[in-house]
Structure 1
Amino acid sequence: MTVLSERLKTLRKKHKLTQKDIANYLGMTESGYGYYEQGRNEPSIETLQKFAVKYNVSISYLTGEEHERKKALVADHEIELTEEEFNFIKELKKHPLLFHELASDPAKKVKELIKLFRVKQLILEEDIEEYGDVK
Structure 2
Amino acid sequence: MMNKKAKRIVYKDGFGNIIPDEDLILREKLNKELQQKFSRRVEYTGNVRSGSVIYIDSDTRIEFYHEMGGGNCLVYIDIPTEAQWVAFTKTPLARRKEILEFVAATVQAQQASNCYFEIKENSITYYYK
The structure with the greater share of residues assigned to strand is 2
The structure with the greater share of residues assigned to helix is 1
Alignment TM-score, normalising by the size of structure 1 = 0.21
Alignment TM-score, normalising by the size of structure 2 = 0.22
Larger radius of gyration: 1
Higher relative contact order (CA 8 A, sep 6+): 2
